[in-house]
Chains A and B, each alone.
Chain A
Amino acid sequence: MKTDVFISGDCIISPLGMGSKLNFEQLLTGETAIAPVDDATLADHRIHAARIADHQWIGKIRNASGYTRLETLFILAIQQLIDAHSIPVDRRTLVLLSTTKGNVSLLHNPEAQFPENRIYLAEMAHAIQHYFGFANAPITISNACISGALALSVARQLLQYSDTYDQALVVGGDEISKFIVSGFEAFQALSDGRCRPFDRDRNGLNLGEAIAAAYVTKKATDDAVRIKAAASFNDANHISGPSRTGEGLYRSIREAMQLAGEPMLDFISAHGTATVYNDEMEAIALHRAGLSDTPLHSLKAYYGHTLGASGLLETILGIHSLRANRLIPSLGFQHTGTSKPLNLITQPTERPLGTFLKTASGFGGCNIAMIFEKV
Chain B
Amino acid sequence: MDVPSHYIQSYCTIRDRSIALNGTTWLKMDSSTTLADFLKSAYRQLDIDYPKFHKMDGLCKAIFIATELMTRDSGPYPSDTALIFSNRSSSYLSDNKHALGIFNTENATASPATFVYTLPNIALGEISIRHQLHSENVFFIFDRYSPEFLVPYTQAALDDKKLANAISGWTEISGHTCDLLLYYIGKSGSVPHTVAQLKRIYNEHE
Chain A residues close to B by CB (< 8 Å) = 100-102, 104, 107-110, 119-122, 125-126, 137, 139-144, 150, 154, 157-158, 160-162, 164, 178-179, 182-183, 185-187, 231-240, 247-248, 251, 362-366
Name the contact of A239 in the complex, choosing from B96, B116, B139, B152 (C-beta under 8 A): B116
Chain A nearest CB, measured from B139 CB (Å): 5
A363-B116, A364-B124 known; A141 vs B140 contact (CB < 8 Å):
yes
Chain A nearest CB, measured from B56 CB (Å): 9
Known: A101-B95, A234-B124. 7 other contacts (CB 8 A): A157-B153, A162-B156, A178-B103, A179-B95, A179-B98, A186-B111, A231-B136
Interface stretch among B39-47, B61-69, B141-149? B141-149
A142-B119, A239-B125 known; A234 vs B133 contact (CB < 8 Å):
yes
Which residues of chain A come closer than 8 Å to B139, judged between CB atoms? 141-143
Query: Please, how many angstroms separate the alpha-carbon atoms of A120 and B133 in the complex?
Result: 29
Q: Which 5 A-B pairs have the closest CB atoms?
A: A364-B125, A183-B115, A161-B156, A182-B110, A140-B141
Could you name 15 residue pairs across A and B whose Cβ atoms are closer than 8 Å?
A107-B96, A107-B99, A120-B90, A122-B142, A126-B143, A142-B140, A144-B119, A183-B98, A183-B115, A186-B112, A233-B136, A234-B83, A237-B129, A364-B123, A365-B125
Contact across chains for A104 and B138 when beta carbons are under 8 A apart: no
Name the contact of B141 in the complex, choosing from A125, A164, A233, A240 (C-beta under 8 A): A125
A232-B136, A365-B129 known; A154 vs B95 contact (CB < 8 Å):
no
Q: Which residues of B, 101-145, contact A by the 8 Å Cβ criterion?
A: 102-103, 110-112, 115-116, 118-126, 128-129, 132-143
Query: Please, how many angstroms separate the alpha-carbon atoms of A238 and B55 in the complex?
Result: 13
Query: Please, how many angstroms separate the alpha-carbon atoms of A150 and B83 in the complex?
Result: 13
B131: nearest residue on chain A (CB-CB)?
A236
Query: Please, how many angstroms separate the alpha-carbon atoms of A181 and B189 in the complex?
Result: 48
A104-B95, A142-B90, A144-B119 known; A183 vs B110 contact (CB < 8 Å):
yes
Which residues of chain A come closer than 8 Å to B133, judged between CB atoms? 234, 236
Name the contact of A161 in the complex, choosing from B143, B149, B159 (C-beta under 8 A): B159
B93 contacts partner chain A, Cβ-Cβ < 8 Å: no
Which residues of chain B come closer than 8 Å to A239, judged between CB atoms? 116, 122, 125-126, 129
Which residues of chain B come closer than 8 Å to A362, judged between CB atoms? 119, 121
B20 contacts partner chain A, Cβ-Cβ < 8 Å: no
Query: Please, how many angstroms separate the alpha-carbon atoms of A185 and B108 in the complex?
Result: 13
B116: nearest residue on chain A (CB-CB)?
A240
Chain B residues close to A by CB (< 8 Å) = 79, 83, 88-90, 92, 95-96, 98-100, 102-103, 110-112, 115-116, 118-126, 128-129, 132-143, 149, 152-153, 155-157, 159-161
A111: nearest residue on chain B (CB-CB)?
B103
Contact across chains for A160 and B99 when beta carbons are under 8 A apart: no
Contact across chains for B142 and A109 when beta carbons are under 8 A apart: no
Query: Please, how many angstroms separate the alpha-carbon atoms of A108 and B95 in the complex?
Result: 10
Chain A nearest CB, measured from B128 CB (Å): 4
Chain B nearest CB, measured from A374 CB (Å): 23
Query: Please, how many angstroms separate the alpha-carbon atoms of A185 and B110 in the complex?
Result: 8
Contact across chains for B89 and A120 when beta carbons are under 8 A apart: yes
Contact across chains for A122 and B88 when beta carbons are under 8 A apart: yes
Chain B nearest CB, measured from A252 CB (Å): 9
Query: Please, how many angstroms separate the alpha-carbon atoms of A186 and B142 in the complex?
Result: 30
Name the contact of A364 in the complex, choosing from B137, B155, B156 (C-beta under 8 A): B137
Contact across chains for B121 and A144 when beta carbons are under 8 A apart: yes
Query: Please, how many angstroms separate the alpha-carbon atoms of A142 and B89 in the complex?
Result: 11
Name the contact of A236 in the complex, choosing from B96, B134, B143 (C-beta under 8 A): B134
A110-B103, A119-B95, A186-B111 known; A247 vs B134 contact (CB < 8 Å):
yes
Contact across chains for A240 and B137 when beta carbons are under 8 A apart: no
A119: nearest residue on chain B (CB-CB)?
B95
Contact across chains for B125 and A109 when beta carbons are under 8 A apart: no
Which residues of chain B come closer than 8 Å to A158, judged between CB atoms? 152-153, 156
Chain A nearest CB, measured from B50 CB (Å): 14
Among A234, A247, A251, which residue has the most Cβ atoms of chain B within 10 A? Answer: A234
Which residues of chain A come closer than 8 Å to B128, judged between CB atoms? 234-236, 365
Which residues of chain A come closer than 8 Å to B92, judged between CB atoms? 119-120
Contact across chains for A363 and B125 when beta carbons are under 8 A apart: yes
Chain A nearest CB, measured from B71 CB (Å): 15
Which residues of chain B come closer than 8 Å to A186, judged between CB atoms? 110-112, 115
Contact across chains for A108 and B155 when beta carbons are under 8 A apart: no
Query: Please, how many angstroms separate the alpha-carbon atoms of A366 and B160 in the complex?
Result: 19
